[in-house]
Amino acid sequence: MIIPCPFCGPRDLAEFTYHGDAARAAARPAHGSTDQEAWDRHVYDRRNPAGSHAEIWQHAGGCRSHLRVVRDTRTHEITETTLYAPEVSQ
């Protein structure tokens, strides 16, 4: 699979590290939480979509940028790649 990096251009998948679902709603439980159900949801409850899906990838073997990649999980076709900017809530 070739991932187009906004800074480095098209690069092989081997240069990237997958960091997860970019549309994930479940937040990590608070540090020190002993709520086993919350931890189970955080670790195990994952969507497994067939079709277009937003993911976070890091160009670990290149510019080290975090990217938001929209990829079709059936064909691996990449339709969008942008810099990943997580929402910060205060």
Report pLDDT digits (tens) over 59-70: 999 999 999 999
Answer yes or no: is 41 within a domain.
Answer: no
Answer yes or no: is 40 within a domain.
Answer: no
The pLDDT value recorded for residue 57 is 97
Answer yes or no: is 62 within a domain.
Answer: yes
Is the Cα torsion angle 58, 69, 24, 42 positive or negative in sign? Answer: negative
Answer yes or no: is 14 within a domain.
Answer: yes
Domain that holds residue 76: 1-23+49-85
The pLDDT value recorded for residue 22 is 87
Q: Is the pLDDT of residue 90 over 50?
A: no
Nearest CA to 2 out of 78, 65, 66 is that of 78
CATH number at residue 61: 3.30.2270.10
Answer yes or no: is 32 within a domain.
Answer: no
Say how many residues make up the chain: 90
24 vs 50, higher pLDDT: 50
Answer yes or no: is 8 within a domain.
Answer: yes
Report pLDDT digits (tens) over 33-83: 999 999 998 888 877 889 999 999 999 999 999 999 999 999 999 999 999
> Could you give the number of structural domains in the chain?
1
Answer yes or no: is 2 within a domain.
Answer: yes
Q: Is this structure's pTM higher than 0.85?
A: no
